[in-house]
Structure 1
Amino acid sequence: MNHPHKTATSIYIHIPFCATKCYYCAFNTYTFHKEQAKAYLAALRTEIALYALETDPLQTIFIGGGTPSILSANALSNLFTDIHQHFQITPDAEITVECNPGTVDSEKLRVMRDNGVNRLSFGLQAMQDETLKRLGRIHSVAEFLESYHLAREHRFDNINIDLIFALPDQTMEAWHHTLNEVISLDPDHISAYNLVMEETTPFYEWWQAGELHLPSEDTEADMFQYTIETLTAHGYVHYEICNFARPNYYARHNLVYWNNQPCIGLGAGACGYINGVRYTNIRGIAPYIDKLAERNKPIADTERMTGHAEKAETLMLALRKREGISLDAYQDRFGEKIEAAFGTILKKWMDLGLLERTATHLRLTPRGLFLANEVFIELM
């Protein structure tokens, strides 16, 4: 087998702090406290150093959360100093920072620009203040617009906006308004996700108690279809199930995941994939800090991806892309045609109209996009 890019050329860094936790969020996040964040960043500095010799020159860096932009300009500057000190970075690397509206200012944006950040991702979610409050968001639409335009003034020319549809009590009209208002801003990339009820969230608890009213499955499908039709009509390329970009503005870091390539994950609860081993870091802030005080990697769990499991994961991740999975790339990686492992199930999906084969790829059909999770569950 030929495993491309055995050495990682990408890193993800998790900043697990938020002003408050949104009601739908199941990510590993904690309320921001200045002293705890200071201790966390010191531990993160140690973890960065522990991985310093385990990458080739980095082609993508993604700093996510949580809310990385909740850190002070000085803390952000120190973090970038640590990154540049321990990793080589290619001149054309994509360096992304997730930002929440209302937590960025000119000083932070200058620090990011001066340290090579060339892509920002704003978590907007909706364009109605009432909806934002119901989600537990801390910002208003006006604050988002202020943050977005400030980033443009600081010459950030690659900006993503995150949106969520099928929210409680959300109507088609409200979703139309959100999407078209965002399009009018001309962002370079738009991620549009349907709401998923996660068991550890307040939303899930309220939903189980009958206190949340979600759009019907038909309405959710209509919202998704409208998203695809509207964004593609405005020149965005639908390149992954939930992601749309101007030409040449695909999220290169996310493509590392969808192509099942190595990536080092740093920070509490971060996940990584190195040398065929998928790992997850300790989630808790205090035990994460304690482990690194011993100068040990804070890894909680590992799983070696081999055989059928690696093949299935590679297929599942690649099918998220609209182009699907390259038949030649699969054969180069595993030394066999894709039908050897998945012939029966692929035929089933094609017979059901969920999958189609081109001269070079296997990909989900337009109908398959709506049922992708069912396909993936059966595959795994």
Structure 2
Amino acid sequence: MGTTARKIALLLMALTLAACQRSVPPVQFHAQGLPQKLSDWQVLVNDGRTLRLNGGVQPFDLNTPLFSDYAHKLRTVWLPPGSSARYEADKAFDFPVGTIISKTFYFPLPAGKGWDGKSVARTDPAESLVKAGQLDLSQVRLIETRLLVRRSEGWIALPYVWNEAQTEATLMRIGALIPLELVAADGTRETADYQVPDQNQCASCHNTDNLARALQPIGPKARHLNRDYDYAGGRENQLAHWSRLGLLSGAPEPAQAPRAAATHDRTAALDARARAYLDINCGHCHSAKGPANTSGLSLDVATDPGIHFGFCKQPVAAGKGTGNRLYDIKPGDAAGSVLLYRMESDDPAVMMPELGRSVMHAEGVKLISEWVDAQKGDCSL
């Protein structure tokens, strides 16, 4: 298809989508209360065949996503018309009251098969199945949609679980446990007890500052968003796109903004990929102000590699939590490091992260193992 034909096709797609959206009620921000249905917010539109974004809702993605039992994620943000978020170089952007951030967790279905009640495909979570802002419901299984809503008194987290018919999601403040079977490309199967967090568990991760004791977004930070995205109208850097639409104020040109590596990008340096993985998966808790600061272990991108980053640091935990390893990170010896022991475990009393997974992230373990084995140092000195 030539450039002109492609532009015409994209324009027709956009016009068709706009025509469909005119018949859908606009996004509804609820300043109070706990709406029981996801559709009460009108952020996402489900017609039984596709899940798409309502008018004014913007999709986004992260350079390196948080691992969640191999779930894929459709992330969106909606800001009240005429408002914008304030750019922060290192922290989550400062979003205005009325902001709704959504994250829909879904799995692709095994090739050539429909939903059998448990089987989903285990594929790379970085590979989005969102096309032109839509998910084809014949190809995926929706599990849950989490909302992070900015009210006048602060952020509130609301977990919604999709029904069997895939037509609606209902608020589940107590969370849910959903048994799944992950099917790999080679046919091997693995049981996953997928956990939808309860409202308090949402706070345990999103309370990134123990002093403030308030929920905050984790993903919408410059370093995570500084990447290209395939929008319905074409490919564009997300920071530039948000700035152009007036959704973000004060942002520099993308080349001047921080950027985290994508862990699946083999052209990026091993150190950059490993640090990005630890930052998004561990750094919101393991930081100077995070909920895990009593451990003395900081894994966020701001921490210099040294004892506070775990190098030759003896763990606070003892016994079962250490696997009898002496150091959080033992340079040159991944097998002898507590960090890898806890990443490899699926025992709730041992594993890290504590929430958000029931199976080991094999690719993540491989990456961090290679990185630790490449480190130089001698803890006996």
Does TM, normalized by the shorter one, top 0.5? no
Higher helix share: 1
TM-score (norm 2): 0.28
Greater RCO, CA 8 A, separation 6+: 1
